[in-house]
Amino acid sequence: MSSAPDSPAAKVSILWATTDHAARIAQLHGQLFDEAWSEKFIRDLNHDPACSLLLAADGRPDRIVGFVITRVVSDEAEILSIGVAQPYQRFGVGKRLVEAALRVMANSEVENVYLEVAADNKAAQALYRGVGFNQTGVRKDYYKRPDGGTSDALILAVAPTTGTQ
C-alpha cells in the first residue's frame, strides 16, 4: 500500500535507530502495548549486535511514528516488536517497516523469520500475511490482557529472501 501525497505517511522514511531514539521508541511502545518496554531495555537491544532497530520518521529523524525491532540468532530471526503510531496506521507504514526488516535479515543469510501476533489482532495478521508470513503454531493464552483475559499468540514465519515460508 503506498501513501497518497496528502496521507499522514507521505513523508515517512525508514531509518536505522540509534540509542538517541530509545526514549521515543519506548514511549511509543508504551502507547501501543499493554506491557511497555523501558528506555533502558530498548537501549540494551540497540547495543546487542544480534538486534536491529529500524524506525519510521515523519520528515525528521526525531519525529518517530513507528519502529521494528529484530533479533538474528544463527540462521533464524525474530521480529521482537513492531509498532506504528495510531494516526499513521493503515497507511502502509507497518508494511514498509516489515519489508525493510526482512531485507536486513535476508542480508544476514537468515533462512526463516518468526514473529508472534495476538489471535485477536486481525489488522496485524493481515499485514503479516500480506508480506508472506504463514502460521506455523499457536501459544495458548500467551498474551495477558489488562481485564484479566488472555489471547493466544499465533506463531508466523517467512523466508526473507523469497517471501514464502
Cell reading at 3: 501513501
Residue from 76, 128, 142, 143 carrying the catalytic annotation: 128
Structure confidence at residue 4 (pLDDT): 54
Radius of gyration of the chain (CA): 15
pLDDT (average), residues 45-63: 93
Q: Give kind and range of the element (H or E) at residue 137.
A: strand 134-144
Share of the chain above pLDDT 90, in %: 78
Asked about 116 being catalytic, the answer comes back as: yes
Residue from 78, 88, 116, 143 carrying the catalytic annotation: 116
Which pTM does this prediction carry? 0.89
Domains in the chain (CATH in brackets) are: 12-158 (3.40.630.30)
Confidence tier at 162 by pLDDT (50, 70, 90): very low
One-letter identity of residue 163: G
At 18-47, the pLDDT tens digits run 999 999 999 999 999 988 999 999 999 999
Q: Give kind and range of the element (H or E) at residue 79.
A: strand 76-84
At 103-149, the pLDDT tens digits run 999 888 889 999 999 999 999 999 999 999 999 999 999 988 888 89
Nearest by Cα to 160 from 73, 101, 96, 97? 101
